[in-house]
Each structure stands twice: as structure tokens, then as C-alpha cells.
Structure 1
Amino acid sequence: ELITAINPLRNQGLSDIALTSNGFLLNGERAHRLRKAGLNRISLSLDGTTADSVARMAGIKHGELHLAQVLAAIGHARSAGFDPAKGDLKLNAVIEKGKNDNQLLPLAELARNEGIELRLIEYMDVGNRNGWQPEAVLTSAEMIAVINKQWTLEPIKRKSATTAKRWKYTDSKGYLATIASISEPFCGDCNRLRVTANGIAYTCLFASQNSGLDLRDYLQANSCSGDLKEAIGKLWGNRSDRYSEQREQQLKSGSRKAPAEMALLGG
């Protein structure tokens, strides 16, 4: 319903509608409905290829059902018209050292066999609930080194304002990407503004929970659209978010303010 409602905004400049999901509820019917509603791209999250690894990363007792559902969701999305070759369907995996780093090659192999771009995400300190420690971070360079030993990779120049660094397999079996916000920050050309479900705008994924701008006053029936544009412009123009570049300094000094949770901000 939400995608159907925002789809007409394409006439006002909206160019792309994307969704990230754990895939657990993405059955065939829902995949087709999403595509029909106007969804362009979908990224499915899968942190392992075994029931044990999936359970460990998801914090659940049994991963068999979850794994089976996500693998099935890949097929449902493809059948609904989300074409991996066009970038309509991708696979996301967060890699944590000592927890699921043994899944690097199996995940890469799965993605290669499915013809899907795998995006390996460094374990991030978003929010304060995941017990993040820097020692648990497997860097992008380390992940690429492991995969490159098995299948040779060739780097692709990163486009400005994108979050991912990409490689292509030299044997022509697709692409691989990493999101390295810990080891290789990209604050300098970030262009992402996040708006939560309750109308709070944040200028950074690592923003403190009290730093957002409440947009609800600008969205009332008697509000002027010019006021909303001015408020967002001021928020964006005055932003100074560089946490990924300042992480070590802030953590050492204890100056980091309570961060907003990932579940609130999205990816």
C-alpha cells in the first residue's frame, strides 16, 4: 500500500523505489504485488548459508526455517521480475569476525550460482544493543583478500555518493561489493537523509538519538511546502556528521552521545 501510494511521485522527480528485507515473509504472491505496486529493487539479507550460522547471527535457536524462507524468497523475487543482472535483486550479508566469517566463501559461492551481487557489510556500531567491539570487525580489505584467493576479482571505480565499493569476477560470474563504513569511511560525499516512520529526519546512520529534526509540524494540512523545503535545506546545509571518520577519537574520549538504533533509522 505504501509503495502504491508513493509511486505517483515519479511525476515529481522520484526515480527509484527500493526495499531491504530479511526475506522471511517474501512469498511469491507478495513479491508480485510489490513489483506491480512499483518497487524497482529489493535487497535480501542473509548472513550465512547454514542453519547454525543463520541462527547465530539472527539470535534465534533454530535457523533451518529462516534459511529456507530466504533462499525461497530469492526465487520468488526473481520470478516476480526483479532481475539480478540489472541490479534489481541483491544479497546483503553482515560479517562479524569469529561469528560468521567462515561463511564468506559459501555466501560468495551462493551469490555466484544465483547470479546475484553479494554485498558484504562490515560489522557496525549502529545503536547500542549489539555489543559492538572493534575487534569483531572484519574489514573490507580482509574480506576481499579471502574471496580473491578463490576467485580473482577486479576493482570497479566507486561512484561518488555511493555506499559500496564494487568488484567484478574476472571469470564473468557477476559482481561483489563491500560496504566499509568502519575501515574506509565515505562521509565526505554521503548524500543520504533518513526519515523515520514517525517523521524524524536524521543526516547520518550513526546519528545520536536526539539530533533529528521533527518534520511532523511541516506536514500538517495547513503547512506550507516551502517551509518544509527550507527546514530540510537548513538541516542538510548545517550538517557536520563525520562519525565514521571520528569513531576512534570519540570512543576513546567517551564523547559519543547515545546513538539512535538501527531499527529506527534503517540501513
Structure 2
Amino acid sequence: MLEDKFGRRFHYLRLSITDVCNFKCNYCLPDGYACDSDRDFLTLPEIKTLVNGFASLGTSKIRITGGEPSLRKDLPEIIETCALAPNIQHVAMTSNGYKLESDIHKWVDAGLNSLNISIDSLDPRMFAAITGHNKLETILRGIDKAIALGVQVKVNAVLMKQYNEQELTHFLSWLKITPVTLRLIELMQTGDNQAFFNHNHVSGLPIKEQLLASGWGQLIRDKAAGPAQEFFHSDYQGKIGLIMPYSKDFCASCNRLRISATGKLHLCLFADQGLDIRPSLRAADSSELQTKLVELLGNKEATHWLQDGFTGATKHLAMLGG
């Protein structure tokens, strides 16, 4: 079992397969994707070695991320590779939903269990203003298709003071009739969004207090779950999750590690560097990889230091998929 010096166990791998994204979200890539780094992304055989190595060390859940993972033509093969790995019980993916309506059947057939889709506003005009794309209705139809196919769907919305802070009522009305989990995510400071962060950060704590006061109950967190605190209400088909990285003891329950699209292990989303494990992947040597992972895990810090303004090597969230 992968375990760090603080006793945290890592059941959950977030695997980026590309840093390319075709959206221009104002909190992440406001000027669009710029090819300013090596684009020699992990190959399918390397991904197989990686997944098998992590699975042998106790990983049970894999989330495929980007950039936008659906921009890789071999995405169904990547999903299948993850789903067929021994001991992997759950394959998830985070996407902007651009290809959701057209491709969801392929992903499910390959073994996808759950899906997180980014929708920062249910107002089509505001959605377009945030993302640079007028695709909200297409994405919502894709979500309906995913639900009909039995996929667990979560919707990610980044809280932003000047854009969607007032939309909670609209989202709640949607959750009355829609069986998804809405995850409200505090805007995080990255290397290139400091001014935007200063103008738009909203704390999730008042929302948590509002939910509890309105009869929402808090769910118990599974060992392989993400960082959200989740809430349910008997009057709603959907649930709400809050991701509050600036809250006290946020990192105490950390259970996930990250691999970049070029084969670097990131012990934290805001680590000061990625640790190169690609030689082990290219050698197709799972035993060497496992030894390397156990050794590198000794460097994991107790916290991300975000509260002190430290953002590490993360220039924008598309680098590692958040």
C-alpha cells in the first residue's frame, strides 16, 4: 500500500493524458492553450505499465484528466486499459463535455464508471463568457445521455465572485430534478491568475453553513473519494459537494497522487516540481516503477501551503487537471 510518512494512504490516482484544452476558461486558460512545453505525452503501453504499477500498490480508483482528455483519439483505449488493470475498481474522467454527447457511448463501452463535467454557469450567456464556447445545451444533453447509460455524473462549478456567486439558487432548482452531484469548488490561486484570484475568490464555508441550516445532511466520505465534502437532502434528486482547499486540515485526508501527461509524479497539485518516472515506464518495468514510487512518496509534504500564497510549479490547472 502506498503510504506517506504522515500515515496517509493513496487509493486514488489522477492521470493526465494531455495538457491541451480547447476551452478558454477565464480562471485557467483565458488566452487559450499555448504550446510552451514538451508534448511527448504518455503512450498507451506506458499508461498500461503505470496503471498496473499503481494497482499493485493498492490504488483502486483512477481518474483520467487533462487538459481535455477527449482530445486524444485513443481515449477509449486508455479507458479500457485502466478498467482492465487488476484491482482497479473504478475508472472516472474529468472533461469539459465538448465531445460528451457524441462520444459517451464509446467511453461507457470501454469501461468508464463516472464522469465529472465542468459547468460553471447554467446561464448560456454566462457559460459562454466564462469558457469561450456556446456549448451549454449540447453538454446538458450529453449529461442526460450519460445518466441514461448508468454513469455517475458530477458537475464541477468553480465559484467566482464576479461571475456565478449569485447562481446557487439556480443550481439548487436544477438539483431538485437532476440526479447529479454539483461540486462547488473554491477558486485556487495558480502561477498566472493572481489578479483574477484576488478579485474573484469566494469561500465555500458560508455555503456549507447555509446548506446545514436548510436541512442538508453531510455524507460520510469513502476511502477512495475525492476531496469534496458532500451533502444530501430528501427533497432533491441531486447532491452538493464543496471543495474548500483553503479550509483547516484540508490536506489531512489527502488520498490521491497525480501523474502529468509527460510522465512526472506530482505529490501535490501545487508541488514545486514533477518527479520523473518515465524511464521506468519506457522500460515497461512495473517492479522498478513500484520501488521508485515508494521512494519518492517519502518527499510528500503535510500540506499544499496554498494559504500562504505558494502555488509551486502549477501555472494553470490544465497542466494537471486540477
Q: TM-score, normalised by structure 1?
A: 0.82
On the 8 A contact 2:246/2:307 being kept in 1, the answer is no
Structure 1, unaligned runs of 5 or more: 83-87
- Residue of 103, 106, 109 corresponding to 2:170: 106
1:76 alignment counterpart: 145
Matched, 1:215 2:277: yes
CA deviation vs aligned residue, 1:151-175 (integer Å, no higher than 9, x gap) = 5312234455640101111435442
Matched, 1:5 2:91: no
CA deviation vs aligned residue, 1:129-168 (integer Å, no higher than 9, x gap) = 474434522222222345567x531223445564010111
- Residue of 288, 293, 302 corresponding to 1:232: 293
Larger deviation, residues 152-161 vs 67-76: 152-161
1:5 CA drift (Å):
2.8
Distance, in Å, in 2 between the alignment partners of 1:175 and 1:201 is 32
CA deviation vs aligned residue, 1:164-201 (integer Å, no higher than 9, x gap) = 10111143544211111123452122121100111111
Higher helix proportion: 1
Amino acid at match of 1:247: L
Task: Specify the SS of the correspondent of 1:17.
Answer: strand
CA deviation vs aligned residue, 1:100-140 (integer Å, no higher than 9, x gap) = 11111212221332121111111111342474434522222
1:33 CA drift (Å):
1.1
Q: 1:205 to 1:117 in 2, by over 3 A?
A: same
Task: Specify the SS of the correspondent of 1:139.
Answer: coil
Distance, in Å, in 1 between the alignment partners of 2:105 and 2:311 is 44
Q: TM-score, normalised by structure 2?
A: 0.69
TM alignment of 1:61-100, pairs within 5 A: 65-82=134-151, 88-100=152-164
After superposition, the CA RMSD in angstroms is 2.4
Distance, in Å, in 1 between the alignment partners of 2:117 and 2:80 is 21
1:261 alignment counterpart: 316
Matched, 1:189 2:253: yes
Q: 1:204 to 1:132 in 2, by over 3 A?
A: farther
Identity %: 29
CA deviation vs aligned residue, 1:12-44 (integer Å, no higher than 9, x gap) = 21111101111121124x111111100011111
Task: Specify the SS of the correspondent of 1:106.
Answer: helix
Q: 1:27 to 1:137 in 2, by over 3 A?
A: same
On the 8 A contact 2:97/2:142 being kept in 1, the answer is yes
Amino acid at match of 2:138: Q
On the 8 A contact 1:98/1:136 being kept in 2, the answer is yes
Higher RCO structure, 1 or 2 (CA under 8 Å, sep 6+): 2
2:46 alignment counterpart: none
Matched, 1:25 2:117: no
Distance, in Å, in 2 between the alignment partners of 1:159 and 1:81 is 20
Q: 1:31 to 1:130 in 2, by over 3 A?
A: farther
1:68 CA drift (Å):
1.0
On the 8 A contact 1:218/1:225 being kept in 2, the answer is yes
Amino acid at match of 1:16: H
Task: Specify the SS of the correspondent of 1:167.
Answer: strand
Q: 1:257 to 1:197 in 2, by over 3 A?
A: closer
Larger deviation, residues 33-42 vs 66-75: 66-75
Task: Specify the SS of the correspondent of 2:230.
Answer: strand
Amino acid at match of 2:141: A
- Residue of 120, 124, 133 corresponding to 1:51: 124
1:260 CA drift (Å):
4.5
On the 8 A contact 1:122/1:180 being kept in 2, the answer is yes
Structure 2, unaligned runs of 5 or more: 1-76
CA deviation vs aligned residue, 1:84-105 (integer Å, no higher than 9, x gap) = xxxx111111111122111112
Q: 1:79 to 1:168 in 2, by over 3 A?
A: closer
Amino acid at match of 2:278: R
